[in-house]
């Protein structure tokens, strides 16, 4: 199937939409973690399909960076908000999918995203959000959100760490800000 035949629909009441906000790209990681912790395989299958849609947001733009908000159409992706704020959700899901499946394609996808950050977002002071992912000569916004350092780069680092025992999912859980917290079997004496 082509990517546009696997549209991601966000529900609001009973209305379906072909719109996708980059923030929604956390979902493949959540579904993959569900499968890791014992939910049926269809969770992982769905995670992998949605991941393709999230990655497609990057590969369809001349800069190699995803727009903040898009609409899927049969002829392609339309950027409704063309900025990129260096968000972590896609690389977070790539990290989780790589850890759960061991499939190197997720590392390859992450490497391509990192190279786009290097090419488009990097300046003499670090990294910055960009105004328009549709333009290879885009203007930078001179702002770096804290989540880029705290989450995006952390997940990229962990994606390329070969030792899967570093912050392994059977001993650690990540909160929504990418802070690893230990999993305790016994809470006695912990509080």
Q: Is 88 helix (H, G, I), strand (E, B) or coil?
A: coil
| Inter-residue contact 110 to 94 (CB < 8 Å) | yes
- Please give the C-alpha separations between residue 117 and each of 92, 108, 112, in angstroms, as whole numbers: 15, 14, 9
**What is the C-alpha to C-alpha distance for residues 1 and 139, in angstroms, rounded to an integer?**
36
**What is the C-alpha to C-alpha distance for residues 102 and 153, in angstroms, rounded to an integer?**
20
Does the pTM surpass 0.85? The reply is: yes
The yes-or-no verdict on residue 175 having pLDDT over 60 is yes
Residue carrying the six token digits 């991601």? 8
Q: Note the pLDDT tens digit of each residue in 22-41.
A: 999 999 999 999 999 999 99
Tell me the helix, strand and coil percentages in the chain, rounded to 5. 40, 15, 40
Q: Note the pLDDT tens digit of each residue in 52-108.
A: 999 999 999 999 999 999 988 888 888 899 999 999 999 999 999 999 999 999 999
**What is the C-alpha to C-alpha distance for residues 52 and 107, in angstroms, rounded to an integer?**
13
Phi, psi of 181 (to 5 degrees): -125, 135
Q: Note the pLDDT tens digit of each residue in 118-160.
A: 999 999 999 999 999 999 998 889 899 999 999 999 999 999 9
| Inter-residue contact 86 to 127 (CB < 8 Å) | yes
25: closest CA among 61, 60, 63, 57?
Answer: 57
The yes-or-no verdict on residue 9 having pLDDT over 50 is no
Tokens of 96: 């989780």
């Amino acid at each position: 199937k082509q990517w546009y035949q696997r549209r991601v629909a966000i529900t609001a009441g009973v209305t379906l939409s072909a719109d996708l906000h980059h923030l929604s790209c956390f979902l493949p990681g959540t579904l993959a973690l569900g499968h890791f912790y014992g939910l049926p395989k269809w969770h992982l299958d769905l995670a992998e399909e949605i991941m393709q849609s999230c990655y497609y947001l990057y590969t369809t733009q001349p800069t190699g960076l995803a727009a903040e908000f898009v609409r899927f159409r049969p002829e392609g992706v339309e950027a409704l908000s063309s900025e990129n704020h260096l968000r972590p959700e896609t690389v977070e899901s790539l990290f989780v999918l790589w850890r759960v499946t061991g499939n190197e394609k997720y590392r390859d996808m992450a490497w391509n995203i990192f190279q786009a950050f290097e090419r488009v977002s990097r300046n003499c002071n670090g990294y910055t959000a960009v105004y328009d992912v549709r333009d290879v000569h885009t203007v930078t916004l001179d702002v770096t959100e804290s989540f880029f350092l705290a989450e995006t780069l952390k997940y990229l680092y962990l994606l390329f760490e070969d030792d899967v025992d570093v912050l392994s999912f059977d001993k650690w859980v990540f909160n929504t800000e990418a802070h690893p917290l230990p999993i305790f079997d016994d809470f006695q004496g912990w509080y």
